[in-house]
Amino acid sequence: MRIADKEEFYNEKSYFAEEMDKGALFIYPTDTIYGMGCDALNTKSVEKIRKIKLRNETPFSVIAPSKKWIEENCIVENEGRKWIEKLPGQYTLIFKTRKKCVSEAVNKGLGTLGVRIPNHWIKDFVNETGVPIVTTSVNKSGSDFMTSMKDLDAEIKNNVDFILDEGEIKGKPSRIVDLRDKAKIIERG
């Protein structure tokens, strides 16, 4: 398992992209908290994250490569377009999907998908790869989320391939906006 800072990551971006393409699980910073992810098209990797988090049924969200990707893969109505214009930002937008755009292990075949584009440099990496990545908090279900390396559960650390460390992030999870019908903001408990 490798830990890299932003500079190392940028200097070796192609290495990290190749690792992701091979199925790597990784931890990365965002504009809210640390996320755990993988290539959202790789069912085996998504299932590994489910096992680590002890989260069998609840769907995961993804960091979308671009706004265009969201529009091509999700059913976006008028109100949805207004929310997409707020991206990048601290929102997870839930849309009905147009077509299969991620592994069924991500959204459990629900026909919906939560999408994010964080206001953070990690979005540039996702955009460059053109591949959506799973974005879920770094914790086991029911436990506190990770805001710095000191919060990282040892078992999770031992099950990821690399960590992009940006120090402490003083944030909270993104706000969820359900846009399947009329916009509805879902507060996290």
Whole-model pTM: value is 0.94
The SS3 of residue 112 is strand
Residue 188's pLDDT is 55
Domain that holds residue 122: 2-186
Per the structure, the count of domains in the chain is 1
Contact between 1 and 158 (Cβ < 8 Å): yes
Name residue 21's amino acid.
D
Q: State the virtual CA torsion across 45, 65, 62, 24 in degrees, nearest 10.
A: 20
Question: Alpha helix (H) ranges present in 54-153?
Answer: 67-73, 78-84, 104-107, 122-129
Q: Tens digit of pLDDT for each residue in 44-92?
A: 999 999 999 998 889 999 999 999 999 999 999 889 999 999 999 999 9
Cα–Cα dist 124/86, whole Å = 17
pLDDT band with cut points at 50, 70 and 90 for residue 118: very high
Average the pLDDT over 108-128 and give the result: 95
- pLDDT class of 166 with cuts at 50, 70, 90: very high
* CATH number of the domain within which 60 lies: 3.90.870.10
Output the average pLDDT for the chain: 93
CA distance 140 to 165: 19
Beta bridge partners of 112: 96
